[in-house]
Amino acid sequence: MKGYFTRRYRDQNPKQPVNVYVKFKNSQGNSLGMPLEGITVGVVEPLFGNRVVISNNYPYKKVDAFTIRFDVTVPKDGEVKVKYRIRVGM
């Protein structure tokens, strides 16, 4: 008995946008029980395959060919929202 299967291939994979949203809060609700002074938080995003940053609300640095990093300052008793959009295509 023989088994057969079919697989569909596309000439090009569709590129899809991906939204990323990260929120940092520096308040008494943290595990220390008190807000810290203004701190800088690093968000490291690995980029595998063919990805492009479409939009962002904070500047980022390209660490290497497959990694970007956002350095964001969170003020005392404050909150910061990091939003960026990446187009993914393999």
82: containing domain: 23-89
**Planar angle of CA 80, 83, 84, nearest 5 degrees:** 150
Number of domains in the chain: 1
Does 80 map to a domain? Answer: yes
Strands 67-74 and 61-64: antiparallel
Does 77 map to a domain? Answer: yes
pTM of the model: 0.69
Does 76 map to a domain? Answer: yes
pLDDT at 56: 93
pLDDT mean over 22-39: 77
Q: Which residues contact 17 (CB under 8 A, 6 or more apart)?
A: 54, 85, 86, 87, 88
Residue-wise pLDDT for 31-58, tens only, equals 776 667 888 989 898 888 788 889 999 9
Band of pLDDT at residue 87, cut at 50, 70 and 90 = confident
For residues 71 and 22, is the Cβ–Cβ distance under 8 A? Answer: no
